[in-house]
């Protein structure tokens, strides 16, 4: 049994939904199909909510537009005997949405809980429609089985409860293909509608695949596979035929948007392969992600980058107790729910630096200043400082240390072209060399690193 996930670009138009139908209807056995909202809709739902909360009146037209977009798809693709029912369901949902927007425009506020409710409508509408477009398919409401719990101010999957609910709601062996909405969930304690984070439909699919013991998780998107870099930044990036779970995990957590990072853990633990495929070009072989790294390439597997990174540095005469300072810093971050991107060796004279998401920088500074208050007082820590507007470039391959001198070579290349390399993390990880550069140099640096890794020539 397979789990197939179709992203927004795969379910955005009548033409792409025709491809989805061809792909799923030609399967030899029933499968689980996870769909995102129609392409771009989640962004629109959010923008409309913000406008309504500011008292703008455009939400009525917007909702009419959302309703029209869904109706056009129903008219074109849902068989006539099922059209009335699915149209009524979608009408009911858009009516609720209109009420919520009206409420927002009255209270002139946008509570986080209400925004979560608003964005859920995308997947709730797309999934019922797709279930009616496909042959021999039934709809399952993911709000009935994906549960989240609070972790600091985030909603994360409540795995145990979700696992048992998946088994309860999706009976094996499948009698028909099951279509469900990705991304959306409910809080396990309050029952409020929540979600797994932007891009989270991939994760819904992985949770289902892992629980049901699928043979394969297919992520259908709008590119021919996992590529050596983001093709929007590097036009000559090429498809990677195969890679390991660890490599994909590293590339995705450093910004490769093709898979939402938490997706990989559940399937990795059950050793379920992932294939990345293109809905618009279904015969392309795509990328196979497995646990084997039989075919380790001579060069690196891929590069990725994550913008809006900050670097927090602790400066002082700390050489004697670096290990202790490191572990106290990690604990201070963990206690505050801050994820560390990497620990870097700074180019400056700081003792050590931690890179993290810019959004967490303020909290991280506070936590470190509190942790090192005694040392700051007596002077062994001179300062805790912050640098923002940075990008982390990640160069990934299993056993990357075997490529002798790679980190130094890449840093030299960047510096030769005038890039202000802020820090590098080379040797701490078996899989990744990370280089921190200013955001303003991000694109140029990624091009330089990509061509140094894949063509041996430097780009401009």
Q: Give the residues lining the site for ligand ADP (CB under 6 A).
A: 7-10, 36, 199, 221-223, 226-227, 229-232, 256-258, 302, 304
Judge contact between 228 and 251, C-beta under 8 A: no
Judge contact between 304 and 254, C-beta under 8 A: yes
Q: Binding partner of residue 9 among ligand ASP, ligand ADP, Mg ion, none, CB under 5 to 8 Å per kind?
A: ligand ADP
What residues form DSSP beta bridges with 386? 312
Rule CB under 6 A: say whether 262 interacts with ligand ASP. no
Closest CB 278 distance from ligand ADP, rounded Å: 9
Closest CB 432 distance from ligand ADP, rounded Å: 14
Q: Which is nearer to ligand ADP, 162 or 305 (CB)?
A: 305
Q: How many helices (H) and strands (E) does the chain have?
A: 14, 18
What residues form DSSP beta bridges with 33? 4, 179
Rule CB under 6 A: say whether 12 interacts with ligand ASP. no
**Cα–chain center distance at 327:** 28
Q: Which is nearer to ligand ADP, 185 or 201 (CB)?
A: 201
Report the relative pairing of strands 32-35 and 177-181 from DSSP bridges: parallel
Give me the DSSP letters along 211-225. HHT-SEEEEEESSSS
* Site size with ligand ASP, rule: CB under 6 A: 12
Q: Which is nearer to ligand ASP, 44 or 60 (CB)?
A: 44
Closest CB 43 distance from ligand ASP, rounded Å: 7
Q: How far apart are CA 41 and CA 56, in angstroms?
A: 19
Burial 178-197 (b: 16+ CB within 10 A, else e): bbbbbbbbbbbeeeebbbbb
Longest dimension (CA), the chain: 79
Rule CB under 5 A: say whether 200 interacts with Mg ion. no
Rule CB under 5 A: say whether 30 interacts with Mg ion. no
| Span interacting with Mg ion, options 7-15, 222-230, 290-298, 388-396, rule CB under 5 A | 7-15
Ranges within 305-344 binding Mg ion (CB under 5 A): none
Q: Binding partner of residue 42 among Mg ion, ligand ADP, ligand ASP, none, CB under 5 to 8 Å per kind?
A: ligand ASP
Judge contact between 411 and 452, C-beta under 8 A: no
Q: Binding partner of residue 182 among ligand ASP, ligand ADP, Mg ion, none, CB under 5 to 8 Å per kind?
A: ligand ASP
Closest CB 321 distance from ligand ASP, rounded Å: 44
Judge contact between 394 and 425, C-beta under 8 A: no
Using CA atoms, how far residue 296 sits from 18, 227, 299, in Å, is: 37, 16, 8
**If 0-12 CB within 10 Å is exposed, 13-18 middle and 19+ buried, where does residue 99 land?**
exposed
Closest CB 361 distance from ligand ADP, rounded Å: 24
Q: Which of 256, 192, 245, 194 is nearest to 223 (CA)?
A: 256
Rule CB under 6 A: say whether 122 interacts with ligand ASP. yes
Q: Binding partner of residue 122 among Mg ion, ligand ASP, ligand ADP, none, CB under 5 to 8 Å per kind?
A: ligand ASP
Rule CB under 6 A: say whether 182 interacts with ligand ASP. yes
Closest CB 271 distance from Mg ion, rounded Å: 23
Position with the least CB separation from ligand ADP: 7
Site string for ligand ASP, 345-384 (x = CB under 6 A): ----------------------------------------
Rule CB under 6 A: say whether 148 interacts with ligand ASP. no
Q: How far apart are the first and last CA of the chain?
A: 47
> Torsion angle of alpha carbons 12, 17, 19, 22, nearest 10°?
160
Which positions touch Mg ion (CB under 5 A)? 7, 199
């Amino acid at each position: 049994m397979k789990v197939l996930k179709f992203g927004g670009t795969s379910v955005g138009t009548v033409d792409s939904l025709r491809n989805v139908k061809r792909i799923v209807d030609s399967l030899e056995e029933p499968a689980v199909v996870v769909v995102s909202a129609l392409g771009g809709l989640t962004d629109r739902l959010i923008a409309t909510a913000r406008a309504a909360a500011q008292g703008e009146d455009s939400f009525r037209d917007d909702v009419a537009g959302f309703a029209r977009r869904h109706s056009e798809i129903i008219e074109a693709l849902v068989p006539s005997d099922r059209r009335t029912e699915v149209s009524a369901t979608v009408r009911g949902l858009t009516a609720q949405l209109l009420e919520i927007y009206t409420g927002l425009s009255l209270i002139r506020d946008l509570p986080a809980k209400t925004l979560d409710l608003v964005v859920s409508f995308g997947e709730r509408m797309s999934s019922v429609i797709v279930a009616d477009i496909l042959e021999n398919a039934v709809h399952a409401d993911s709000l009935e089985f994906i549960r989240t719990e609070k972790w600091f101010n985030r909603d994360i999957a409540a795995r145990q409860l979700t696992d048992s609910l998946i088994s309860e709601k999706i009976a094996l062996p499948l009698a028909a293909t099951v279509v469900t909405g990705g991304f959306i969930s409910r809080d396990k304690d309050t029952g409020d509608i929540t979600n797994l984070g932007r891009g989270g439909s991939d994760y819904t699919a992985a949770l289902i695949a892992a629980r049901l013991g699928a043979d394969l998780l297919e992520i259908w998107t709008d590119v021919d596979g996992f590529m050596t870099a983001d093709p929007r930044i590097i036009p000559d990036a090429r498809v990677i035929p195969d890679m390991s779970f660890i490599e994909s995990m590293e590339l995705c957590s450093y910004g490769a948007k093709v898979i939402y990072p938490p997706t990989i853990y559940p399937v990795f633990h059950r050793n379920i392969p992932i294939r990345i495929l293109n809905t618009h070009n279904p015969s392309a072989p795509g990328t196979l992600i497995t646990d084997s790294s039989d075919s380790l390439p001579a060069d690196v597997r891929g590069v990725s980058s994550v913008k809006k990174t900050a670097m927090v540095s602790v400066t002082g005469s700390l050489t004697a107790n670096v290990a202790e300072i490191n572990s106290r810093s990690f604990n201070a971050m963990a206690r505050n729910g801050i994820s560390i991107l990497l620990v870097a060796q700074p180019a400056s004279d700081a003792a050590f630096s931690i890179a993290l998401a810019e959004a967490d920088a303020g909290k991280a500074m506070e936590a470190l200043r509190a942790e090192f208050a005694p040392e700051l007082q007596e002077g062994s820590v001179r300062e805790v400082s912050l640098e923002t507007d940075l990008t982390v470039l990640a160069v990934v391959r299993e056993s990357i240390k075997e490529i002798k001198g790679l980190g130094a070579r890449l840093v030299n290349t960047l510096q030769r072209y005038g890039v202000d390399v802020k820090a590098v993390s080379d040797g701490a990880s078996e899989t990744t060399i990370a280089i921190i550069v200013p955001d303003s140099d991000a694109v140029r640096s990624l091009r330089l690193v990509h061509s140094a890794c894949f063509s041996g020539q430097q780009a401009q």
